[in-house]
Structure 1
Amino acid sequence: MSQVDVTCPVCLNDVESCLHVAGGCGYTAGVWEGLGMALRPVWGYENAREWVGDVLEELDGEEVEVFITGVWAIWEMRNKVVFENKGARVEDVVMRVKGIMGELENVENGGEKREVAVPGSFRGREHGVRDRRMVPGEVCISVDAGVKEGEGMGLGAICRDEKGSLLWAWEGRRREEFEARVAEAEAVLMALRQAKRMKHSSVRVESDCKTVIEALQCRQSGRSDFHMVISNILSLCRGFTSVAWSYIRRTYNRAAHMLAHSCIVGDSRFIDGGSIPRHIAEVATTDLSMRI
């Protein structure tokens, strides 16, 4: 009796499952990156239903439409590989999704054709995009955290000035495992400590964790591990001339997300602005350009 091959027909590396196809396949990761979707990793999930449910809770409006269309397009390409013996090309799926989104936009506008800007469709501006929300002399630090069971957590931060120039980045690893909101708060604390070392006086901190931003804006207090970190952050703020908090969608926080998740299994390090890896710098510039 012949055995059924359960290897993913697209990446040819891992066992195929709905969860793997939707978010764990290397090919799929390329599609999501091409669409500008910084989705939560599939680590720790046993099935696609749970992962998709958590992803949808973190997305807003058009992002949900792009995600659902992306999953459908990925599965369509998977079937073409299996049943039509066609090759899998990330760029084909990305263009397929953008084409469908464009058609939907066309219908919604009564047949009037318009250029559609789904997350990730930005065509790249040069470094130095001014953020009009910032005041002269202020720096903005985007932060994120990632937790992996058995490995600890990774913290990421990337700093720019009001002209959009990248000043520095930092990625750190903690072997302790905390709940997600504590990890996200630790990322803010780490970023402020680094800002103090760099002698920045006016700081704006961005995070895609609403729970953390709201706790800081409201100066929440309590006895939990989370509130202890919030208290430490607020205490550290006394050493700055001004500190502001901003919530941003995860789609626009991809550079910090990449830094946080790359160091979960790596080493902590400070990166000078001129030494930030090119792919991180490009993503950081696109993050900013897409939201201003």
Structure 2
Amino acid sequence: MHSLVHCEFAQKAWEEIGISLPLPTAPNFKGWFNAMLQNQQQNLALIAMTCWAIWNNRNEIVWQARSFTVSKALWIACNLLEQWRKENVVPPLATSETETANNSKWSPPAAGKFKLNVDAAVFTNQRKCGLGFIIRDDQGSFVAARATQVHGIIDPALAEALGVREALSWLKSNFPQVHEIEMDAITVYNALHRDEPDFSYFGLIIEDCLSLARNIPNIRFLWTRRTANKAAHILAQTARTLQNHVVWSYYPPLFLYDVLSTDSMND
């Protein structure tokens, strides 16, 4: 009870994620946790993640003789939660309009439209991330692709958000006719559709995305499963070995031929 609720580190962690704690009248952790579940139904994953972050930091102190900052501990837990969500959860904000959320393969945009898929890959040992972008038309035909890297970013959620921001900048300057941006990052997708302000670094990047989006007529954000975002994922992974960003126009790189062929096949 003390380690997860009352100690200074735990108190700071709960304060940082913005969840109000029940009054400390519960006799034990089980009672406290049940009170949290009753009062915070919409934040169950966040509560579990925070408990794990606090306990993981305790284990680091006991077994490794080191301690994370509260922000670092929460980041580690957020990253794990993000990766789990990408594999297992359909975003609650998805609607019937977001048809790709129910598909396991890439689907083309509406007739006469263009779609950009974006993904990010984190290379922790190299202290950088790769960003991949690909634009296709309503027939699934290749229009353009880009791969680039950003040094100093190893947080998956930040990398995915930066990917969307970079995609919007690229579209604004070169492809204003693209009206759909599709991603497999649930945290970023939901943040782009949330009304509440977020003053974290992640939130500021999301605000940049929304500001850029306002300058592209009729742009909309879509979510899809990772299995339907393979082309962008391959491009993001390819960025690991690049010295600078690379753009392909009209003709795709050879390493994308197989996935583009598979994506263009009708079920």
The TM-score range, normalised by the shorter chain, is: 0.5 to 0.7
User: Could you say which residue in structure 2 is the equivalent of 1:124?
Assistant: none
Decide whether the 8 Å contact of 2:130 with 2:237 is kept in 1.
yes
Distance 2:188 2:107 in 1: 26
Decide whether the 8 Å contact of 2:178 with 2:219 is kept in 1.
yes
The letter for the 1-side match of 2:247 is F
Q: Provide Cα deviations, 1:214-259, integer angstroms capped at 9, x if missing partner.
A: 1112245211111111000000012111111111111111111111
User: Displacement of 1:130 after TM fit?
Assistant: 7.6
User: Could you say which residue in structure 1 is the equivalent of 2:123?
Assistant: 148
Scaled by the length of structure 1, the TM-score of the pair is 0.53
User: Could you say which residue in structure 1 is the equivalent of 2:183?
Assistant: 207
Distance 1:200 1:163 in 2: 19
The letter for the 2-side match of 1:213 is Y
- Give ranges in structure 2 of 5+ residues lacking alignment: 1-80, 90-103
User: Displacement of 1:134 after TM fit?
Assistant: 2.0
Distance 1:130 1:288 in 2: 8
Decide whether the 8 Å contact of 1:145 with 1:260 is kept in 2.
yes
User: Could you say which residue in structure 1 is the equivalent of 2:51?
Assistant: none
The letter for the 1-side match of 2:231 is A
User: Could you say which residue in structure 1 is the equivalent of 2:223?
Assistant: 247
* Other structure's SS at 1:223 match: coil
Within a 5 Å distance, the mapping from 1:1-292 to structure 2 comes to 58-60=86-88, 131=108, 133-136=109-112, 138-151=113-126, 152-267=128-243, 268-274=245-251, 276-287=252-263, 289=265
**Is the helix fraction higher in 1 or 2?**
2
Distance 1:158 1:253 in 2: 10
User: Displacement of 1:288 after TM fit?
Assistant: 5.2
Distance 1:54 1:218 in 2: 17
The letter for the 1-side match of 2:87 is L
Distance 1:246 1:59 in 2: 16
- Give ranges in structure 1 of 5+ residues lacking alignment: 1-52, 62-118, 121-128
Distance 1:252 1:153 in 2: 21
Residues 204 and 285 of structure 1: CA distance in aligned 2, closer, same or farther (over 3 Å): farther
Distance 1:219 1:54 in 2: 20
Distance 2:249 2:151 in 1: 24
User: Displacement of 1:195 after TM fit?
Assistant: 1.1
The letter for the 2-side match of 1:188 is V
Distance 2:82 2:154 in 1: 18
Scaled by the length of structure 2, the TM-score of the pair is 0.57
User: Displacement of 1:269 after TM fit?
Assistant: 1.1
Decide whether the 8 Å contact of 1:166 with 1:281 is kept in 2.
no
Distance 2:88 2:235 in 1: 23
Distance 2:209 2:216 in 1: 12
Decide whether the 8 Å contact of 2:143 with 2:250 is kept in 1.
yes
Identity of counterpart residues, as a percentage? 27
